[in-house]
Amino acid sequence: PTAERRVLPASTVVRLAAEAAVLGTCEIFLTGGEPFLRSDIAELVTSCAAAAPTIVLTNGMLFRGARLGWLDACPREGVTLQISVDSATSALHDRHRGLGSHAAALDGIRTALDRGFRVRVAATLGPADHDQELERAGAPDLGHPGDLGGVEAVVGELHGDGLGGGK
């Protein structure tokens, strides 16, 4: 990438979260890129969760080493980790996100659940994959049946040039 990296300073996020609380914001989403690339992610999540229920959109693949510590430092109350899993099978997910990414995302889900986080799995489906994957979404095989109980599913549909209505 040749574009300069753009990141909101933590002080700005903290200020915006406080303003959001005063304004009665119903929900805050933290996204990126990948929020867990930021070493200050726990400060951001803590500030946002104090203001309103907070959803952190993540690929779930970075929960090891120092980043596992960053995850552990995040509050559980009022926080949902929305982890992207674009197929119930590795073939389609890995085709879109890279070889081994399906297994890594499932490991991230298990790690988050083991640490007491609420997890929501989100999928974005292309037109060619839509019907087959929605059929599987009713009872996805995420590798270890029963291990991922309590996971909420969110499915979005990709229409031509952008994301369409969620299901």
pLDDT along the chain (167 residues), means of 10: 83 96 96 92 97 96 96 97 85 83 92 94 69 53 45 52 40
Question: What was the pLDDT predicted at 83?
Answer: 93
Spatial separation of the C-alpha atoms in residues 124 and 93, rounded to whole Å = 10
Instruction: Give DSSP secondary structure letters for 72-101.
Output: HTS--TTEEEEEE---SSHHHHHHHH-TTH
- Res 144: pLDDT: 39
